[in-house]
Amino acid sequence: MNDMARVERVVDTGQAKITASDVQVHYGDTHAIKDVNVNIGDKTVTAFIGPSGCGKSTFLRCLNRMNDTIDVCRVKGNILLDGEDIYDKRVDPVQLRAKVGMVFQKPNPFPKSIYDNVAYGPRIHGLAKNKAELDEIVEKSLRRGAIWNEVKDRLDAPGTGLSGGQQQRLCIARAVATEPEVLLMDEPCSALDPIATAQVEELIDELRQRYSVVIVTHSMQQAARVSQKTAFFHLGNLVEFGETGQIFTNPQDPRTESYITGRIG
Amino acid sequence: MTDISQSGAPKHASSLLSKDARTAKRNRAESRFKLYGILAIAVGLLMLITLVYNIVSRGTGAFTQTFVTLDVTLAEDKLDKNGNRNLDEIKKVSTFGYAPLIKDAISSEVEKLGIQTDLSAKDQAAILSKSAAAQLRDYVIANPDKIGETVQFRFLANSRVDGYMKGRVSRESIANDKSISPAQLDFVDQLVADGVIVKSFNLDFIFGADASDQRPEAAGIGVSMIGSLFMMLVVLALALPIGVAASIYLEEFAPKNWITDIIEVNISNLAAVPSIVFGILGLAVFINYMHLPMSAPLVGGLVLTLMTLPTIIISTRASLKAVPPSIRDAALGVGASKMQSVFHHVLPLAAPGILTGTIIGLAQALGETAPLLLIGMVGFIASNAPDSVASGLLSPNSAMPAQIYEWAKRADPAFYERAWGGIIILLIFLVTMNTVAVILRRRFERRW
């Protein structure tokens, strides 16, 4: 336990975008997240790893209040985004989600054209004054999603007609189109083949220049490849959080070591 | 067969090329079950064929009618004694005043064709429908300048003559019939030979109004069709928005607690309530308490709305549920509000299902008779089509199934044929609506 405290202090010195303290999540009678304290830095990729059902996705969904849609879910504790409590009564989750974008496990483009998929967010948030500006946003977002060259000739084609990897990159483009500050990714590559996964990972590394990226992943290799910080969750507890290199080479907690060496999980 | 010889053999030791007893038994059970299924389908198909054959063979007669073509001299001395073509004076001549003109017309036709008959002019004219004089009077009032001229008319034949032409009435069956005699039938045969009496397609059955008990040949389903149309408009205008709004709220916004559970259970219960209960409810609430007019399509539409609402709510909720939650997540994830995610993404995807449910609910309402019994839409003879939307909603009318019920209970067998004909028209509407529903579902379903 003392080891964990030391690790946290190291992180505290960095530039924190999101600060979570004493977060508890209950699903009905189930205590899904217990006392999680974590600081997520700006312009870094933070990976959440851990076995299935350990609460990493649940915690990720707390960060943009997607858990609000689940009736039985209750969140306690503080989560600060730039020093503002996102669970404050005055916060409208809609505004929060414009700032904290999300990419889901399964690619879920809208059954509309590629253009409309990307333009939807900017439209509802009023980010473009006219068609030309909107076109510009769409192009910029698709370029950031590293999919522009593949779809620039068929922006009117349905987004659902793309391949799995392209769909996921389209979803990333859609998420960045609203100019978020934080991008949450919930196992974005679990439905993709290795080549598409490599493309998405490359993209995540580029996105780090602008956004704070939080990625939940089942693959420890992926966490090691793309992230600077790694958090290991186990049974609803944040067991260890630190520099990715340190977590994978010199874990402080025996549970982390067991997990990354494949003895549990 | 092979079980005895193999009974002592070790497990699975027998050849794969010969079936063991258990496999043979299972295969027999399977083929038996397939046979039962085919039999069940065959019975169902047979019943359907019988039904369709019966309806078509009994109902098609209503679409043709026997007509008598006559040249009528619109005698000025009978219709406009003063000769000033004053419409008010012309209107004073009642249908009785036109009867002699018809008698004269038929006598002169008989004379012209050289038909030998012992019938009096009155008996000769009796082969025409009682509506002939009214038809003549309507024509004269509409065209007073034709008075004095000879105009060719196509009159409906009496329902007995029509029945004779269609094989329903024979010389034996009219032994006790006071309205027609064998001599008149002979007369009809002569006129048919000369082409004066012909059987042809009867558009008035589809577009005309119902007629009194004495004139089955003039009865049509058109006005009750308009009554049904207005009822359906009321149902569509009320049940669709209310049903869809209720379903969206219940499915997307409402908290899941015991109150919404009770509402949900009761909506399902409402769908199973017998329609006559809605009828008596409509009578109590809309007519006795709210004093809306009796027999009005507005009231009929309100009652059918109550009946259709559960159907629409259930099908709408089912199609909202069928929209994958990932679409909702995607919309919320880019910062759409709950309402935006529902109206921009979920509702468009659920629309085909909602539309299908609505059409099927409407088709169900279109064929409903029982609730109309209680609010007085059965038994009323609508003789004129409504002249405006307001009167279409508020003036008494009937509905197609109610009209069919009304015809089926009348004594004259000529109405029986019209009831079957009405059923054909009603079924055409229902089949068309259901086909449209299926086509819509096929076309727009599963776009994600």
User: Is the domain of B235 the same as that of B162?
Assistant: no
At residue B170, the pLDDT reads 84
Q: Is there a contact between B336 and A94 if contact means CB atoms under 8 Å apart?
A: yes
User: Is the domain of B270 the same as that of B351?
Assistant: yes
With CA atoms as reference, report the closest residue to B393 among B221, B236, B226, B208: B226
Q: How many CB atoms lie within 10 A of CB B316?
A: 28
- Is the pLDDT reported for residue A134 higher than 70? yes
Q: Is there a contact between A95 and B330 if contact means CB atoms under 8 Å apart?
A: no
Characterize the bridge pairing of strands B64-73 and B197-201: antiparallel
Residue A29 forms contact with B (CB below 8 Å): no
Percent of chain A exceeding pLDDT 70 equals 94
- CATH number, position B402: 1.10.3720.10
Mean pLDDT of chain B: 87
The model's pLDDT over B222-255, given as tens digits with 9 standing for 90+, comes to 888 999 999 999 999 999 999 999 999 999 888 8
Q: How many CB atoms lie within 10 A of CB B21?
A: 14
Residue A161 forms contact with B (CB below 8 Å): no
B131 in Cβ contact with B215 (< 8 Å): yes
The model's pLDDT over B427-436, given as tens digits with 9 standing for 90+, comes to 999 999 999 9
Mutate to test the interface with A, among B260, B332, B334 (most CBs of A within 10 A): B334
With CA atoms as reference, report the closest residue to B237 among B389, B344, B367: B389
Percent of chain B exceeding pLDDT 90 equals 34
User: Is the domain of B244 the same as that of B317?
Assistant: yes
Based on the structure, what is the number of domains in chain B? 2
- Is the pLDDT reported for residue A255 higher than 50? yes
Min Cα–Cα distance to chain A from B337, Å? 6
The answer to the question of residue B376 being in a domain is: yes
User: Is the domain of B193 the same as that of B237?
Assistant: no
Q: Is there a contact between B330 and A69 if contact means CB atoms under 8 Å apart?
A: no
Among A103, A111, A171, beta carbon nearest to B349: A111
Residue A119 forms contact with B (CB below 8 Å): no
User: Is the domain of B395 the same as that of B321?
Assistant: yes
Q: Which fold has domain A3-260?
A: Rossmann fold (3.40.50)
The answer to the question of residue B85 being in a domain is: yes
The model's pLDDT over B11-37, given as tens digits with 9 standing for 90+, comes to 666 788 888 888 899 999 999 999 999
User: Is the domain of B412 the same as that of B265?
Assistant: yes
The answer to the question of residue B214 being in a domain is: no
At residue A2, the pLDDT reads 41
Min Cα–Cα distance to chain A from B321, Å? 15
Measure the CA–CA gap between B182 and A79, rounded to whole angstroms.
101
Residue of B nearest to A98 (CA): B335
Measure the CA–CA gap between A101 and B335, rounded to whole angstroms.
8
At residue A12, the pLDDT reads 41
Mean pLDDT along residues A68-90: 87
Q: Which two tokens stand for residue B395?
A: 């003036």
User: Is the domain of B235 the same as that of B110?
Assistant: no
User: In which residue are the tokens 């209750």 written?
Assistant: A74
User: Is the domain of B394 the same as that of B252?
Assistant: yes
Q: Is there a contact between B333 and A104 if contact means CB atoms under 8 Å apart?
A: yes
Q: Is there a contact between A120 and B324 if contact means CB atoms under 8 Å apart?
A: no
Q: Is there a contact between B330 and A109 if contact means CB atoms under 8 Å apart?
A: yes
Which long-range contacts link B117-125 to residues 24+ away (Cβ below 8 Å)? Answer: B117/B183, B117/B186, B117/B187, B117/B190, B118/B183, B119/B183, B119/B184, B119/B187, B123/B181, B123/B183, B123/B184, B124/B184, B124/B187, B125/B99
At residue B8, the pLDDT reads 55
Mean pLDDT along residues B102-128: 85
B104 in Cβ contact with B97 (< 8 Å): no
Q: What is the ipTM of this complex?
A: 0.84
- Helix, strand, coil shares of chain B, percent, nearest 5, are 65, 5, 30
Q: How many CB atoms lie within 10 A of CB B408?
A: 14
Q: What is the DSSP string of B28-77?
A: HHHHHHHHHHHHHHHHHHHHHHHHHHHHHHHHGGGGEEEEEEEEEE--HH
Among B326, B332, B448, beta carbon nearest to A66: B332
The model's pLDDT over A135-164, given as tens digits with 9 standing for 90+, comes to 999 999 998 888 898 898 999 999 988 988
User: Is the domain of B437 the same as that of B379?
Assistant: yes
The answer to the question of residue B292 being in a domain is: yes
- Is the pLDDT reported for residue B2 higher than 60? no
Range of the domain at B415: 222-444
Which chain A residues have a beta carbon less than 8 Å from that of B331? 110, 120
Residue of B nearest to A185 (CA): B333
Min Cα–Cα distance to chain B from A4, Å? 32
Q: Is there a contact between B329 and A104 if contact means CB atoms under 8 Å apart?
A: yes
Q: Is there a contact between B333 and A66 if contact means CB atoms under 8 Å apart?
A: yes
Q: Is there a contact between B333 and A125 if contact means CB atoms under 8 Å apart?
A: no
Which chain B residues have a beta carbon less than 8 Å from that of A111? 327, 349, 447-448
Measure the CA–CA gap between B244 and B223, rounded to whole angstroms.
31
Mean pLDDT along residues B200-211: 87
The answer to the question of residue B326 being in a domain is: yes
User: Is the domain of B183 the same as that of B235?
Assistant: no
Domain ranges within chain A, ordered by starting residue: 3-260
Instruction: Give the contacts of A125 (CB within 8 A, at least 6 positions apart).
Output: A98, A178, B335
pTM of the model: 0.81
